[in-house]
Amino acid sequence: NVKSLNAYFKAIPLQKKINDEKGLSYTYNNIGLIYSKQFNFKKAIEYYDMALKLRKKNNDQLGLSATYNNIGIVQKDQKNYKEALINYKASIAIDSSLNEIYGMSGTYNNIGLIYSELNDLNTALVYYHKALKIREQVNDKRGISNSCNNIGSVLHQQKKYDEAIINYERALNIGLEIGTKDLI
């Protein structure tokens, strides 16, 4: 989004002027997100690296976890699965030390996606179930629906059709309950 990028680029000199390194790290991270969504992975990594540097300097653990996860997503999108897993595991380690379970659920899901891509379906299921368990604990209905859909997909690939249908139906019913078209 060009408007968002322009706003972030205008914020950078102001944040530097007032020495707002935490805000600057979020700006860099958000610029990385936009470039990632535009499939400009080189630029995304460039800005994520700038965010990481500031977040390490300021010991912003939650910010570090988010940026490691975002880098993992870019690496996954480029099919650099080994690098993606390294970044996801760095994110999980931080979230685990902070007991930040919501962040862990998303990262577990992302790890499951990688193992699905690698056709290691049993390992994918392990991570999808870890994500689902957390999402159920915090009653994240959107996340539960997503996890059930991912689990259904793996079970479908494993030709476990009855179990797949159960998970797909649960995902669909939650999507209908909360009224989100993309889940439906």
Task: Encode the chain (184 residues) as per-residue pLDDT tens digits.
Answer: 889 999 999 999 999 999 999 999 999 999 999 999 999 999 999 999 999 999 999 999 999 999 999 999 999 999 999 999 999 999 999 999 999 999 999 999 999 999 999 999 999 999 999 999 999 999 999 999 999 999 999 999 999 999 999 999 999 999 999 998 888 8
The pLDDT score that the predictor gives to residue 181 is 86
The pLDDT score that the predictor gives to residue 180 is 85
The pLDDT score that the predictor gives to residue 183 is 80
The pLDDT score that the predictor gives to residue 1 is 80
Q: How far is CA 39 from CA 66, 121, 163, in A?
A: 19, 27, 35
The pLDDT score that the predictor gives to residue 112 is 98
Which tokens belong to 135? 């999402």
The pLDDT score that the predictor gives to residue 14 is 96
pTM of the full structure: 0.92
Reference 87, options 115, 68, 108; nearest CA is 68
With contact defined as beta carbons under 8 Å apart, do 110 and 76 qualify?
Answer: yes
- Report the 10 Å Cβ neighbour count for 123: 16
Rounded to whole angstroms, the Cα distance separating 96 from 108 reads 12
Residue 118 per-residue DSSP state: T
- CA neighbours within 13 Å on the CB side: how many for 114? 25
The pLDDT score that the predictor gives to residue 22 is 95
The pLDDT score that the predictor gives to residue 33 is 97
- Look up tokens 């007032």; give the residue: 18
The pLDDT score that the predictor gives to residue 150 is 98
Question: Could you tell me how many residues make up the chain?
Answer: 184
Reference 182, options 140, 149, 138; nearest CA is 149
Rounded to whole angstroms, the Cα distance separating 132 from 168 reads 14
Under DSSP, is residue 35 helix (H, G, I), strand (E, B) or coil? helix
